[in-house]
Amino acid sequence: MVAVRDEAVGEAADGSVAGAAVGISGRGSVGDIVFRGFAVAAAALILVALAAVFIFLGIEGIPGFDVDEQHYAGQGSFLGLVVPLLFATMYAAVLALIIAVPFSVAIALFISHYAPRRIAVPVAYVIDLLAAVPSVVFGLWGAVALGPYLVPAHGWLAENLAWLPFFDGQPSGNGRTLFTAAIVLAVMILPIITSICREVFAQTPRLHEEAALALGATRWEMVRYAVFPYARSGMVSAVMLGLGRALGETMAIAMIASPKVVVSLFVIGTQNPQTIAAHIAQGYKESTPDRLSVLIATGLVLFAFTFLVNALARWIVARGRAK
Amino acid sequence: MNTTSLRRALVPGITAATLALAISACGAANEQNSGSDGEGTLSGTIKGGGASSQEKGQAAWVAGIQDANPDLSVVYEPVGSGSGREGFVSGGYLFAGTDSALNDDEGELSKAKEKCGADPIQVPAYVSPIAVAFNVEGVDELNLDAETLSAIFSGKITKWNDEAITALNSEADLPDTAITPVHRSDDSGTQENFTDYLSQAGGWSEKPDGEWPAGIKVGEGADGTAGVVTALQGAGYIGFLDESAARENDLTTVKVKVGEDFVEPTPEAAAKILAASKPAGLSDNDLAVEVARTTTEAGVYPVVLVSYLLACPSYENAEDAANVKGYLEYVLSEEGQQASADEAGSAPLDREIADKALELVSGIK
Amino acid sequence: MTDIDLSAQETELSHATLPRGAQWLVAIAAAALGGLSLVLGAGIVGAVAVGGLAFVLGYPLWALLVENRRSATDKLVTGLVWTAFGVAVIPLIWLIYMVVARGTAAISPEFLTYSMRSVTGDEQGGLYHALMGTLIVTGIAALISIPIGIMTAIYLIEYGKGSRLAKAITFLVDVMTGIPSIVAGLFAFALFTLVVGPGTRFGFGGGVALSLLMIPTVVRSTEEMLKLVPDDLREAAYALGVPKWRTITKMVLPTAVGGIVTGVVLSISRVIGETAPLLVASGFNPNMNTNALEDSPMMTVPVFIYTQLSEATAKGVEYAWGGALVLFVLVMALNLIARIVGTIFAPKTGR
C-alpha cells in the first residue's frame, strides 16, 4: 500500500489531481486512511474473488479429472468428454458471431449514420431493450416458437445446400438444432456488439467524415474510408465481447438444441454438439458427487477458456490503441 | 446542495428496500391457511430425496399428508436415484426414492444396514406406465413388439414402411419416411426401465441403464420429459415417456405386443404387472421385485417404471420415526395410491403387495 | 451526420441522375412484385422477402444503369443497412408479442399471490414464492456488489490512477465481465459445498453467484461516471483544505450520483434474469422461503420458468409464459427507473 501511495505522489508531478490531494491533505487524516483503506480493500477483493473462483472450482473440480469412466457420459475419459464439449462451445459461439456481426455493424451504422435522428434514437432504445430480455425468455421463445417455425428452413437447407458440411445430412423434423440455437444466440449478442460499434462509429471525428464527403465520396465511401478505419479496434473489441457472452450462454442452448456429446459440423440434424455450459445445466440436477465433480471440472475448463479469450481481446484492443 | 441530491437518491432507495422487506415478510396467500381443516397430529419436518420419476407422485402424497397434518412438512428433493440412495446412507435423507432396488454391488446395502442398524425397508411405491409415443401424419394406431422397438431405437430400422413394422400393422398406411427415435440425454429412471424392457424382451444389445448407451449413434437426445414432448412435435419421431405426460400432451401412443395381443399403455394394464412379477428381495424387509417384462399374460402392460421407497426400520428420533411411518403409511394406503394415480397418472399398487408393504412400514419405530 | 447530404448535389453536377422520387417508384414496383408472389401463394414471409429483395437489388441496379457504379454501391449498402434493421426487429417484436400475449393469459391475482406448495394437477398455483426469492437473492447480490463495486471504482479513479494494482484491477474487471454465468453459479455452489456442507443450495449462495456477475458492471459504470466529474471540482475542494475522503464523499459522489444510480439499476436488471447460476446455486423449491441463510433452496422467477417448462404439461407451459411476463415487466421497470434517474440527475457537462 505504501508503494502505491508513493506512486500516486509521484504522479503529482504529471499534474494528476489525485496525487496532489494525497500530498496536500492526505497524510495524517484518520478519515482519509480509513476511506482509502476501504477503497483498496474493495479493489483487492476483486482479485481475491477471481482467485477464489479458480481455487474453489479447482478444489471441487480437480477430482473430476480422474474418476471412474462411467461418469464421463460414455466418453471414457475427461479429455474424451471435454474436447467435444469445448469444440461445440466454440462452434456455437462462432456461428452466432457469423450471423450477428454483419447485422450488428449494419444496425450500428443505421443508428449512427443512416437513419434520421427521430428514428435513430428509438431504434437505439429498442436494441438496448433486446439486451435486457432474460436468457431464459429467449430460450422459451426459441424452443416454443422459433424452432418449430424453422423446420421448413431446415429441410430447404438440407436439400439445396447439402454441399456444405453444415447442412449435409438428414434434417431435423422439429427444429431443436444448433442452427436454431445459433440464431437465438445471435439475437442475444446482437445488442452488445451493436451498442459498442454504435459508440465508436459516433466518435469518428466529424472532420474526417466531412473531408471525405467534400472530396466527392458517396455516403458508403465515407463510411468505408473514414469511419471503419477509425473504428477498427473498437469493432474488434465489440466482437470479442460478443464472443465472450456467446461462449458462456447456457439456457438458450440448453432449452433449444437436442444435445449429443459429439464433434460435428452438421448443424441442422438431430444430434447437435453439446456445449459445456448447457451440459452442466442439464447434468447437475441428478448428480452423484463424482459426476458433479466432473461437471465442475468442465466448468473450470470453460472458465479458463473464456478467461483466455477475454484476455486476448483486451490485448488486441490495447495494441490497437497503442498504434 | 450536492449533499441533498445524494440524500434525495438515498431516501427512496431505503424506502424501496424496506418496502421489499415488508412485502417479503408476508407469506404466499395459499400457504397462510392451508389445510387448516386437517386433523392429523403429526408435526415437524422430514426430508427425503431421490428418483425424479417419482416427483409428481411425491408431490401428490406430500400435498395429501400436509393437508391432513397442517403442522407437518414433507420435503422431497428430486435429485436422482443415485443421489437419493447416497443421501439416505449418509443420513441426509430420512427416506429416499429409487428407481433401481438397493443392492450390494457397490456396498450400498451394507452401508444402509449399518446406518439403520438393521435391514433397510424397501417397498415398491410408485408404478407408472411408460408410453411409446410417435408422430406420423395420418397414423393413429400403431402396433409394435419388443424386437421391433429394439430395432427402431438402435437404428436398425430406419423407415416407417419397413417390413417389420408393416407386418404388425396391416391396416395402417405407413409412409416411406425416416424414423427419428428420441431418447433421454439425461440420466433417467424411465430410460432405465425402458431399456430393461428392451433387453429382456426385445434382444437389446446394450446394458439397461439410466443413461443412453454411447454405442448407439442414431436418434435424437432430449433433456427431460419436456424435451421428449417437444422433440415429438417433429414428423416421423418416436420416443418413450411417462404415460401421463403423453396423455397430457395428446401424443399418439404405441400398443405393445404381449402374448398374442397388443396392449395399450394404461394405468390399469400397468397395475397388473407387480402381481405377475417375482419377488427379488434381499431380506425380509425388502419387497423389491423382478419386473416380469416378458409376461404373456393378457391385458398386462410390461413397459412400466417401478420405483421404490427406502426407509429405516427404526429411527433414533421418535418424532422422525412417527413422521416417516405416517408418511409411508399414507403413500401405501389406498387413498395415497389413488392420489398419485389422479395427479401423476401412476398405477395404483396391487393391494396384496401394498398390504404386505404396509405391514412392514407400520413396524417403523 | 445525416443532414449533410452532399452526394446528391455532386452527382447532379457531373452526370445523369435518377429522377426525383426514384426510390418510391422502385418501392411501388417491389411491393407489386411482393403482392404478386403473395397471390401466387408464396405466403406472407415469402412475399415480404421477394418485395424486400426486389427493392434492395432493383434500386441500385437502376442506379447502375443510369448513374454509375459508385452510386449503385452506395444505394445497395443503404438498402442493406435498412434491411438489416428491419430483419433485426422481427425477433424482438415477435418475442415481446409472445411474452405479452401468452403471459397475460396466465396472470391472475392468484398467480401473483400463490406459491406452488401442495399444488398438483390442475389446481391453481402461483409464483409469489419465486418473486420473493428473486427480490431477496437480487437484493443480496446488490448489497454485496454495490459497495464493493463503487469503492473499487473510487480506488481506480481517485487513488490508483496509473498504479500497477489499478492496471491489474482494470484488466481483471474486464475479464470478470466475461465470466460465464454458469461458472459463477458453480463457484458459489463449490464454495458453500466446502463451507456449509455437500449439496448446499440456498438463497445466499445465489446472491453470491449473482454478485460475481454484477460487480464488474457496477465498477464499469461508476468508473465512467467518476471520469465525467470535472477535475476543477476536486481542485476547488483541495484548495479549501478539504480532506480527500470528504472531497470524494461530499463533492465527487454527489455530482456523479445520477449516473451511478442509473448504472447500478441497470446492472441489477442484468442479473435479475439470470437463470443458470441460480439453478445451480439456489436450486428450486415449491414452497415459500424467505430465509436466505437457511440451508434450504430458494425459488426464483427464472428458475420457476425453467422448472415449469420441464413439467411438460399445458399448465406448466402457461405458467412459464406467465413467469416470463413477470420477469419481463420487472426488467423493463428497472430499465425505466434507470432512465428516469438518468434524466433527473443528468450531468451537465456539455456533451
- Give the chain B residue nearest C309 (alpha carbons): B226
- The H or E element spanning position A2 is helix A2-11
Residues comprising chain C, all counted: 351
Q: How many Å apart are CA C101 and CA C120, to the nearest integer?
A: 25
- The values of phi and psi at residue B43, to 5°, are -145, 160
Nearest CA to C275 among C284, C264, C287? Answer: C284
Work out the pLDDT band at A322, boundaries 50, 70, 90.
low
Q: Which residue has the cell 458517396?
A: A218
Mean pLDDT of all residues in B146-159: 93
pLDDT digits (tens, 9 = 90+) for A177-223: 999 999 999 999 999 899 889 988 988 888 988 999 999 888 889 99
- The H or E element spanning position B124 is strand B121-135
Alpha helices (H) along chain C: 6-14, 22-39, 43-66, 69-106, 109-113, 128-154, 164-177, 181-195, 203-228, 231-239, 244-247, 253-271, 276-281, 301-310, 314-344
**Is C349's pLDDT higher than 90?**
no
pLDDT digits (tens, 9 = 90+) for A222-247: 998 889 988 888 888 888 888 888 99
Nearest CA to B75 among C196, C286, C280? Answer: C286
User: Do B17-127+275-290+306-361 and B130-272 come out as alike in CATH topology?
Assistant: yes
Work out the pLDDT band at A97, boundaries 50, 70, 90.
very high
**Is A301's pLDDT higher than 60?**
yes
Q: Looking at residue A18, what is its pLDDT? A: 45
Work out the pLDDT band at A142, boundaries 50, 70, 90.
very high
Q: How many Å apart are CA B341 and CA B345, to the nearest integer?
A: 5
Residues forming beta bridges with residue B258, ordered by sequence position? B261
Mean pLDDT of all residues in A256-279: 90
Residues forming beta bridges with residue B263, ordered by sequence position? B256
Strands B304-311 and B95-98: antiparallel
* Residue among A24, A45, A140, A197 with most chain C CBs within 10 A, to mutate: A140
Q: Which residue has the cell 422430514?
A: B46
Q: Residues 6 or more apart from C109 whose CB is under 8 A from it?
A: none
Q: How many Å apart are CA C159 and CA A33, to the nearest integer?
A: 12
Q: Where are the beta strands (DSSP E) in chain B?
A: 44-50, 72-77, 95-98, 121-135, 143-144, 180-184, 220-222, 237-242, 252-253, 255-258, 261-263, 278-279, 289-290, 304-311
CB within 8 Å: B185 and A282:
yes
Q: How many Å apart are CA A131 and CA A141, to the nearest integer?
A: 15
Q: Residues 6 or more apart from A240 whose CB is under 8 A from it?
A: A309, A310, A312, A313, A316, A317
As given in the structure block, the three cell numbers for residue C89 are: 426487429
CB within 8 Å: B28 and C117:
yes
Work out the pLDDT band at B161, boundaries 50, 70, 90.
very high
Residues forming beta bridges with residue A107, ordered by sequence position? none
pLDDT digits (tens, 9 = 90+) for C58-84: 888 888 888 788 888 888 888 888 888
Residue type, B306: V
Under CATH, domain B130-272 is a member of which superfamily?
A: Periplasmic binding protein-like II (3.40.190.10)
Q: Looking at residue A7, what is its pLDDT? A: 40
Are the C-beta atoms of B72 and B66 separated by less than 8 Å? yes
CB within 8 Å: A103 and C87:
yes
Nearest CA to B172 among B149, B152, B143? Answer: B143
Work out the pLDDT band at A3, boundaries 50, 70, 90.
very low
Residues of chain C found within 8 Å of residue B59, distances taken between Cβ atoms: 118-120, 286
As given in the structure block, the three cell numbers for residue A215 are: 472530396
Strands B255-258 and B261-263: antiparallel
Alpha-carbon distance B283 to nearest alpha carbon in chain A (angstroms): 26
CB within 8 Å: B225 and C312:
yes
Q: What is the DSSP letter of B166?
A: H
CB within 8 Å: C345 and B25:
no
Within a 10 A sphere around the Cβ of B124, how many other Cβ atoms?
A: 23
Secondary structure of B197-255 in HEC code, one letter for each residue: HHHHHCCCCCCCCCCCCCCCCCCEEECHHHHHHHHCCCCCEEEEEEHHHHHHCCCEECE
Q: Would you state the torsion angle of the CA atoms of residues C303, C305, C307, C311, taken in this order, to the nearest 10 degrees? A: 180
Q: How many Å apart are CA C133 and CA C131, to the nearest integer?
A: 5
Q: Which residue has the cell 444505394?
A: C75
As given in the structure block, the three cell numbers for residue A26 are: 492526505
Rounded percentage of chain B residues whose pLDDT exceeds 90: 42
Chain B with chain C: Cβ pairs closer than 8 A = 106
Mean pLDDT of all residues in C271-298: 86
Q: Residues 6 or more apart from B302 whose CB is under 8 A from it?
A: B197, B201, B256, B258, B273, B291, B292, B293, B294, B295
Nearest CA to A169 among B161, B181, B152, B178? Answer: B178
**Is B4's pLDDT higher than 70?**
no
- Give the chain C residue nearest B4 (alpha carbons): C254
- ipTM value of the model? 0.83
Pick the CATH number of B17-127+275-290+306-361 from 3.40.50.10140, 3.90.105.10, 3.40.190.10, 3.40.50.11290: 3.40.190.10
As given in the structure block, the three cell numbers for residue A254 are: 440448453
Work out the pLDDT band at A4, boundaries 50, 70, 90.
very low
CB within 8 Å: C313 and B63:
no
Going from N- to C-terminal start, the domains of chain B cover 17-127+275-290+306-361, 130-272
Q: Looking at residue A321, what is its pLDDT? A: 65
Q: Which range, of A65-79, B86-100, C42-56, C275-289, averages the lowest pLDDT?
A: C42-56
Alpha-carbon distance A69 to nearest alpha carbon in chain C (angstroms): 22
**Average model confidence (pLDDT) for chain A?**
84
Work out the pLDDT band at C5, boundaries 50, 70, 90.
low
